[in-house]
Amino acid sequence: MAADLDLGRGADLVGELTELVTEHPLRERFRAQLMTALAQSGRLAEASSAYSEFRTTLVRELGVEPSPGLRALHTSILRGEVAGWWVQPATRSLSR
């Protein structure tokens, strides 16, 4: 999966990674891979939600925050940068 993500093939992995996250809700690596796959698919809001849900679970279940690496990935997603790939954020027209 890591190789496919490195090649920008995240869209093909979303389903499988969603299943892995459901089966292993506290595995940070699977969550990071799902976030990356969603972002590479242009699903930035879902990628951000995946992080927020994980953070809530970690704090509630274990009393800890996500790792610095996962927080950095979340920040990159919010900026539209994912694993070396630029994800074009949705734009909206502002009229004055």
pLDDT in tens, 61-70: 999 999 999 9
Domain boundaries, the chain: 2-83
pLDDT in tens, 23-35: 999 999 999 999 9
Q: Spell out a b/e string for 17-48, using b for 16 or more CB atoms within 10 Å of the CB, else e.
A: bbebbeeeeeeeebbbbbbbbbbbbbbbebbb
pLDDT at 46: 96
Can you name the CATH fold of 2-83? Answer: 1.25.40
